[in-house]
Chains A and B, each alone.
Chain A
C-alpha cells in the first residue's frame, strides 16, 4: 500500500488542455496507482492539485517488448522495473493550491498553467484534500471520502441548490442512497426545502436495502421537518408509515398540458392532443369528465372538427387516467395548496406513490403539482422583487425516472424542462435522479450545476453525463472504472474539482446519529435500537 504524501514520480510532458504525463519512480508500483486518486505536483512556483485519470506502461527500448528480459530472475526484474520499463500516470491538474497571491487570499484557484518539467508528483495528503474540499460546516455537507483516504469530501450545499443537479447511475449502484444523503444534507443544513416525488416510496419511511437490511429514511430521522404525503393510503398504512396527508386530485385539476405530456405513455395521436385543447376550451374545468361522458362525436357541438377515431383514441387514453384511484371527480382538499403550505413553513414534503408506480401516474402527478407550485413560486419571487419582501425559500424538487420528463421530445413542453433551464432565478431547482441520462435532453443536461454519477456502462449515457465538461475524455476513464457500489464521481458547481468518493455510510445506527444535530438526539434515541 502506498503511504500518504509518497513521492510518485516526475512530470515529463503534457499540456494544459490534455493534462500532464508523469513518469513513475521505480519505488512506486504502477499497481498501487488508482484512477481517481488525488495527487499534488510541486511546481517551481506553485503547487498544483489534480487527479490521476489514466495509467499506462512504457519502455525505453521498443525491443524490450519484442524480446522481454527474463523477469523470472528477481534480480533482473528488480533492475528493469522503473528504469527500462516504467509506469506513467496521466494527471489532469485542476487547481493551484498554493504559491501565488490569489490562492493565499482566496483559496484554491483553477489552473491556468501547468507545472514545469520534472516537477515532483506526490500523493495528496489529508491536509491538501481538506484545503480543497473544505471542512464540514453550516454550508458544507460531508458526502464521502476520497479513494484510500479518510479525509471528508464536502459538498457546498448552498451552491448546490442554486442550480439543478443530477444523480445518475445504473440500477443498483446506489443512486437512492446518494439521493437520500443529499436530501439529508439539505435538511440538516437547511439550505433548501424539498419536494420529493417518491416513486418507489423509499425516501419517507424505512425501506430495505439490497441485503435486506432495514434502512431508515427522512421522516424517521427528521420527523419534525418532514411531511409524508401519500397517494396510496393503504400501502402506506400497511408499511406503518405515519402519513400527514392523503393526496386526492380532482378531475377539474387536470389541464390539457398534463395530457399533452402523457401523449407517449397514453398512446395518443397528435390530433387527439389537439382535441384536448379544443375540448377544454369549450367545456372549461369539467372537460375531462365531460369528454369521458361523450357518446361518440354526435354529442359534440357542431363546429367541432374532431374525427370519430380521434375521439375514441382520446377517450381510451383518458379512461386510463380516470381509472387511477387517487383521481376523483371531486377532490376534498386542494393538494397543491397543502403542499405549498408545508413548503412555506419550511417543512419538506415527500410524496409517496405507493402502488401507483406506473409511469403514467407518476408523470401526471409530478407534472401537475409541479406546474402549480412553480407558478406560485414565480409569483412569490416577482412579488419579492417588486415589494422587497423576502423571496420564497429555495425549493428543490426531486424527480426519479427523469428521462421520461426531460427527453428531447417533451423537455420543451414539461414544466421540468423549464425549471431545469431557467427556474434558478425563481429559487426552484431540480434534483434529477435517473439511470438513463442519455434519454435526457442535452440542453437540460448541460444546464445542470452538479452531477453526481455512479457507475455507468453505456457509452451514450457516459457521453451525455459528461457533456459540457472540459476534460471529458479523462473523466470518462475514471467513470467507467468506478466500483458498482458506494462509489460516485462528483463534478460541477458544488465541488472545486471532479472527485471520486466512497460515499458516506448510511444505514447503521452510528450513521444516523451523525446526521442528526446534537440537541435533537434525545427525541429519537429510540430509533437507534
Chain B
C-alpha cells in the first residue's frame, strides 16, 4: 500500500502508491526487512504537492463534478502525493511479537502493508502499546489517536464490546492520574 520514505526509531513516514489510498487513522500497519517486522499505528496523513514550492490551484470552475477535474487533468495524479505518518509500537523478531521499540528503525523503501484482522487480533492481545501511544509526542492529541486505534482494532473482533471494555480498563489504570484524558478517550470509543 505504500513505501517508507522517512524513518526514525519511533516513527516513519510512508508514501502511498496511489493518491488518496491512505490507511484510516489509527489502523495497524506493518513493514518488514530481512530480520524485523515493524508494527505501527497510523497517526497522521497528508496529501500535498510533489514539489514543496508548488501549490495546487483551484481547477473546478468549468467542471461539473470533482471526478471531471481529475479526468480532464490526468497529470494531477502524478503531481500530488499522499503520505502517512506511522508511530512504531512494536516489532516481530524471530517469529516473536514484542510490544516495544525495535532495535533498528525501518529501512527506506520498505513496503508498508495494512495488517489483516488476524494480525490485529494477535497484536492486540496485549495493551502495552497504549502506554506508548500515551507517551508519544505526536502532532495530534494522544486521546484522539488512542480512541481511533481502538475503534479500528475492535473491528477485528466479533465481540467489540468486550474488547473495548478490556482496553478501557487498561486505560483507566494507565490514566489513573489523568481523569480528563481518560474521559475523552472513553467518550471516543464507547459508540
Contacts and interface: CB of A to CB of B under 8 A. Distances in A.
Do they bind each other? yes
A61 B177 contact: yes
B186 A75 contact: yes
Contacts of B183: 69
A73 B165 CA distance: 12
B161 A75 contact: yes
Contacts of A78: 165, 168
Nearest to A26: B169
Contacts of A63: 179
Interface in B134-191: 161, 164-165, 168-169, 171-173, 176-177, 179, 182-183, 186, 190
Interface residues of A, number: 16
Given A75-B164, A78-B165, A83 B173 contact: yes
A83 B190 contact: no
Interface in A487-516: none
Query: Which of A26, A64, A79 has the most chain B CB atoms inside 10 A of its CB?
Result: A79
Interface in B63-110: none
A78 B164 CA distance: 10
Contacts of B169: 26, 79, 82-83
Nearest to B178: A61
Contacts of A79: 165, 168-169, 171-172, 186
Interface in B100-137: none
Interface string A78-108: 1110111000000000000000000000000
A97 B186 CA distance: 44
B161 A64 contact: no
Nearest to A82: B169
B179 A73 contact: no
Nearest to A62: B179
A61 B171 CA distance: 14
A78 B183 CA distance: 13
Contacts of A26: 169
A300 interface: no
B57 to A, nearest CB: 47
A388 interface: no
Contacts of A80: 172
A67 B161 contact: no
Contacts of A82: 169
A60 B176 contact: yes
Interface size classification for chain B: 10 to 19
A29 to B, nearest CB: 15
Interface in A198-218: none
A83 B186 CA distance: 13
Given A75-B165, A79-B165, A84 B176 contact: yes
Contacts of A60: 172-173, 176-177
Contacts of A61: 176-177, 179
A61 B182 CA distance: 12
A64 B179 contact: yes
Nearest to A76: B186
A73 to B, nearest CB: 6
A61 B172 CA distance: 10
A84 B182 contact: yes
Contacts of A64: 179
A63 B175 CA distance: 13
Contacts of B176: 60-61, 83-84
Nearest to B177: A61
Contacts of B182: 84
Contacts of B179: 61, 63-64, 67, 69, 84
B190 A75 contact: yes
A26 B165 CA distance: 11
Nearest to A63: B179
Contacts of B165: 75, 78-79
Interface in A35-76: 60-61, 63-64, 67, 69, 73, 75-76
Nearest to B189: A75
A82 B183 CA distance: 16
A103 to B, nearest CB: 36
Nearest to A81: B169
A318 B182 CA distance: 82
Nearest to A73: B190
A138 to B, nearest CB: 53
Contacts of A83: 168-169, 172-173, 176
Contact of A75 (B168, B171, B173): B168
A9 to B, nearest CB: 14
Contacts of A84: 172-173, 176, 179, 182
Contacts of B190: 73, 75-76
B170 to A, nearest CB: 8
A64 to B, nearest CB: 6
Query: Which of A63, A80, A83 has the most chain B CB atoms inside 10 A of its CB?
Result: A83
Query: Which of B164, B171, B177, B186 has the most chain A CB atoms inside 10 A of its CB?
Result: B186
Interface in A381-424: none
B5 to A, nearest CB: 39
Query: Which of B171, B177, B182, B183 has the most chain A CB atoms inside 10 A of its CB?
Result: B182
A63 to B, nearest CB: 5
A85 to B, nearest CB: 9
Nearest to B172: A83
Query: Which of A69, A78, A82 has the most chain B CB atoms inside 10 A of its CB?
Result: A78
A306 B177 CA distance: 84
17 contacts: A60-B173, A60-B176, A61-B176, A61-B179, A63-B179, A64-B179, A67-B179, A73-B190, A75-B164, A75-B165, A75-B168, A75-B186, A76-B186, A79-B169, A79-B172, A83-B173, A83-B176
Given A60-B176, A75-B164, A83-B169, 20 more contacts: A60-B172, A61-B179, A64-B179, A69-B183, A69-B186, A75-B190, A76-B168, A76-B190, A78-B165, A79-B168, A79-B169, A79-B171, A79-B172, A79-B186, A83-B172, A83-B173, A83-B176, A84-B172, A84-B173, A84-B179
Closest 4 CB pairs of A and B: A79-B168, A83-B172, A60-B176, A75-B190
